[in-house]
Amino acid sequence: MNFGLPPPDFGLFSYFYAMNFIISEAQKAILELYKEEVAESLINIQETRKEFEGQVTIVVFPITKISKKSPEQTANEIGEYLVANVENVTKFNVVKGFLNLSISESYFLNQFNDEILASDFGVYPSNGKKVMVEYSSPNTNKPLHLGHVRNNLLGYSVSELLKAYGYDVVKVNLVNDRGIHICKSMLAWQKWGNGETPESSGLKGDHLVGKYYVIFDKEYKKEIEALKAEGQTEEEAKKNAPLIKEAQQMLLKWEQGDEAVVSLWKTMNEWVYAGFNVTYKNLGVDFDKFYYESNTYLLGKDTVDEGLAKGVFFKKEDGSVWIDLTADGLDQKLVLRADGTSVYITQDLGTAEMKHDDFNMDESIYVVGNEQDYHFKVLFLILEKLGKSWAKGLYHLSYGMVDLPNGKMKSREGTVVDADELIESMVTTAREKTEELGKTNDFSEEDKAALYQSIGLGALKYFLLKVEPKKRLLFNPAESIDFQGNTGPFIQYTHARIKSLLAKAEYTAKSTIPKDGEMLPVELEMILLLAKYPAEIEIAAKAYSPASLANYLYELAKLFNKFYHEVPPIVKTEAGETKQFRLNLSKKTADIIHSGMLILGITSPERM
């Protein structure tokens, strides 16, 4: 980590920033020792590596140009000056060109009582900026699956991260509710549905519509094979199969406003929306605004006219409109077909402008899988070339696909990992594993249900969020629900353990220091790690990645368990300053776990 960042303007203490007093003291040392003033940027400070004594390290190599001495000699001279002249620097050691400094325990104790224990520790004020996060963006021809789950959890958590960092956040969902894929489900329902509804079938609406998407694919493949048997190539058979022609005709009727087709489309989409809403609720995600492709697919044609007028686009002889991005290392891109109909990039250009007009946000984040990396490079570059001042604030949060131990998912073949079934399975596994431990015998049935839901969803969310978004991941449900290791349930269990401890000790808040002002090494470790929480929010928010925050919370939970086992039993300790100090450490740990996990969309049970 780089500890040379400027301090935040909200005045809260964080170890990440508090060590910046070392920078000014090092500047004084250099001026005194080498008679030269240096800029803050020359003083590079870092967290001391765990194998060396100390808390903060100065990298002295850049300073040797001024000292005209070896790195070791320079480090020793600066170290001696700081120990002699700075009250809170107690010792130093030198490892090659690295000066490791030990800071007094009293410094950290004072900061713990004065800053970390404050109720607003880690709370960033408004930064006056608005950001839009667009996520989910499902198709209305099938239910949500495991890939959608990663998208939704990532979008929600990034939104909560940015809120925590001071942004005004708008969560939006652009629903892909039109196109040939929708017509496939509609046509199959017309042919083989026999009037089936969610009510008559007992299926969630999105599952019912997805069922007919799968039926269409199976029947379509039969027609393809039949045509191939008659001598057509596979390519010819795919184009000539009667079902695909009927689906294309249905799409044309929809675009022409055919009353019967539009009515069926509305009915089946309403089934899907109702189903999606149940899944969203179970996942614990929400949205401030829904956009629908059926309302936006004609957008962008004005933008094309604007681009032609500005010379950004060019028209070919057949009347199609293109942009040449070869000079930017890309290719030529079609933005309007010869017949005047839109392509996806046209719609996205228009939708981007509409969203900005609606909300006037400073930044806009698209949470979309990495198979669309090229599309967003082109989209953002076109908007910049069109002179849209807000285009610089656009960002594609690209994420990797989710694999399973038994292979990839295929939605057309009905072999996807359904989101609803996955959630149900996670909750069931949480119930089974929790009951094995025998710790819920005194819970009411209602409390048990809430606990299993919290643990199951916590396991799922944490497992998917602890991995950097760009990385492809292998999701193993059994591995995710474990009360040991880097899992959601382990962190949740730590929180519940602390809450139980505080209840037994009848904890009340009171600032204090340990008896004689001395701390065990693990207690100092706890303060240092707790102090990093605001910085961890900043790091995760700037990277649009909940992974670093998730792993910080795991390290905090792991360290608390070490602390819990190394200190004498807190509840049995005689009342006094030391007991109160340890209870304060425990309480703050629980608070940070609770608030950090909420950013990830995970609840922390009071007891488990």
Domains 15-103 and 420-599 share a fold: no
Cα 193 to Cα 104, 210, 223, 260, 356, distances in angstroms: 75, 12, 19, 16, 42
**pLDDT score, position 7:** 35
Burial degree of 419 (CB within 10 A; 0-12, 13-18, 19+): buried
Structural tokens at position 72 = 């070791």
- pLDDT tens track for 485-540: 999 999 999 999 999 999 999 999 988 877 666 789 999 999 999 999 999 999 99
**pLDDT on residue 122:** 92
Q: Give the span between the Cα atoms of 122 and 115, in whole angstroms.
A: 10
Quickly state the pLDDT bin for 18 (edges 50, 70, 90).
low
The proportion of the chain whose per-residue pLDDT surpasses 70, expressed as a percent, equals: 95
| pTM for the full predicted model | 0.90
Q: Which CATH number fits domain 420-599: 1.10.10.10, 3.30.465.10, 3.40.640.10, 1.10.730.10?
A: 1.10.730.10
DSSP category for residue 61: G
Residue 14 has pLDDT above 60, yes or no: no
Helices (H), ranges, 144-241:
146-164, 180-192, 198-201, 205-229, 234-240
Burial class, 68, CB count within 10 angstroms (exposed 0-12 / middle 13-18 / buried 19+): exposed
Q: What is the mean pLDDT of residues 291-303?
A: 91
- At 478, the pLDDT band (50, 70, 90 cuts) reads confident
Q: What is the pLDDT of residue 104?
A: 92
* Alpha-carbon gap, residue 514 to 110, rounded angstroms: 11
pLDDT in tens, 78-136: 999 999 999 999 999 999 999 999 999 989 898 899 999 999 999 999 999 999 999 99
Closest-CA residue to 96 (of 58, 141, 139, 143):
58
Strands 44-47 and 56-59, sheet pairing: antiparallel
Give me the mean pLDDT over the 4-17 stretch: 37
The HSE-up count of residue 533 (CA atoms within 13 Å, CB side) is 32
Per the model's pLDDT, the better-predicted residue between 54 and 415 turns out to be 54
> What helix, strand, coil percent values describe the chain, rounded to 5?
55, 10, 30
pLDDT, tens only, 143-197? 999 989 999 999 999 999 999 999 999 999 999 999 999 999 999 999 999 999 9
User: Which residue type is seen at 315?
Assistant: K
Q: What is the DSSP letter of 523?
A: H
Q: What residue ranges do the domains of the chain occupy?
A: 15-103, 420-599
Taking the C-alpha atoms of residue 123 and residue 125, their distance in angstroms, rounded to an integer, is 7
At 477, list the tokens. 């449900």
Average pLDDT over residues 47-76: 94
The dotted CATH code for 15-103 is 3.30.1360.70
